[in-house]
Amino acid sequence: MESRTADPDTQLEVDLMILDYLLCVTIDLVLCAGKAKDEGQQTHDWELSWNLKTIDTIRAALLQEHLFSEDIHIKIQILEFAQMFSDGQGLLEQSRAPAAAELSQGFQRTTDGAKCPVTETRRRSSPRYSPPRDDEPYTSNGCPQALDKSCNLLDKYITLCHVSKNKLPEGHADIATKLVMQAASNECRTIGNGSRHGYRECVHRVIEHLRKNSDPGKSQANTEYLSYIRLPIDPPPDAMREARQRKSRENGIVSAVHGFLTNLMKTLDPPILLQLERGKVGGLSREETQKLKEKVGF
């Protein structure tokens, strides 16, 4: 009697195809949910939450992330940044974002930039992501909460740019500059210093915070990437005075980030499942694609 159990290698290929597809769908959900909430429209956060949990489950089951393609690694970083950015902009409810930081706990980066899987012991011991509470003005490392949250977002953005390497769309440094400006403005509002001198001090504090990251690998990557940012960064006109103008600037950042992520996704291969459906996988002939479809039972 023919066995109904899939070959382990085939099962791995199928799992990777499903993961790739879910990553792309979830990235689209995060961006669309953020845009919809910003425009006051209703969103289906339960669908996003289900996708994130499913992605976590698949990655935990695989435990072979060193086999992931470069595109999948980039998509993972895009999803992490997109969710953290949307959460930080208030576009997604924090209670509906359970896994943003945990997505990166499935692997660690070595000093040469390569990725390797994290052991199950480390996975269990890793702290779960918990968004900072609004009543916590300072974090455990003594930094103002607004600065720490903004720098975490910048850290994640720089990691995304580092992983994406030559696939980065133009304008990535402009996004980083906008995020630095936003981080500095947030801290100025937190400490109640709206002067131009105070703003410049906040900018340099953000830069210094990134350079002195507790993770040596991130600290070096941050320092290298910060060379792209044009300093000094002057405060935008009336930066500390008009809430309406601040909202307009935030909308500009949201639009710029969404455009950047969309353009970055266009440089990556579509999910294999979609390529199979179209009958032509990149790098394979149509005949080879048909054989692959038969192999995975598509």
| 138/190 Cα distance (integer angstroms) | 11
The pLDDT of residue 156 is 93
Helices (H), the chain: 8-38, 45-62, 70-88, 120-125, 145-164, 172-191, 196-211, 216-226, 243-266, 272-278, 286-296
The pLDDT of residue 167 is 92
Task: Report the SS3 class of residue 280.
Answer: coil
Give, for all 298 residues of the chain, the pLDDT tens digit. Answer: 455 666 677 778 888 888 999 999 999 888 877 666 666 666 666 678 888 999 998 888 876 778 888 999 999 999 999 999 987 664 444 333 334 344 444 444 433 444 444 433 333 333 333 444 444 444 444 455 556 778 889 989 999 999 998 899 988 999 998 888 888 888 888 877 777 788 888 888 888 888 887 677 777 888 888 887 776 677 765 544 544 455 555 657 888 899 999 999 999 988 878 887 778 777 778 888 888 778 767 6
Q: Is the preceding omega at residue 132 within 30 degrees of 0, hence cis?
A: no
The pLDDT of residue 280 is 78
223-234 burial, b for 16+ CB within 10 Å, e for fewer?
A: eebbeebeeebe
Rg for the chain (alpha carbons), in Å?
A: 21
The pLDDT of residue 122 is 32
The pLDDT of residue 228 is 79
The pLDDT of residue 70 is 92
The pLDDT of residue 204 is 86
Task: Report the SS3 class of residue 144.
Answer: strand
Of 212, 203, 256, give the one whose Cα is nearest residue 232: 203
Residue 107 parent element (H or E): strand 107-109
Residues 6+ apart with CB under 8 A from 287: none
The pLDDT of residue 23 is 94
The pLDDT of residue 107 is 43
State the virtual CA torsion across 44, 45, 49, 54 in degrees, nearest 10.
Answer: 20
Handedness of CA 156, 227, 113, 260 (dihedral sign): positive
| 164/73 Cα distance (integer angstroms) | 9
Of 205, 193, 261, 191, give the one whose Cα is nearest residue 233: 205
The type of residue at 281 is: V
| 141/138 Cα distance (integer angstroms) | 8
| 258/248 Cα distance (integer angstroms) | 15
The pLDDT of residue 13 is 80
| 262/143 Cα distance (integer angstroms) | 33
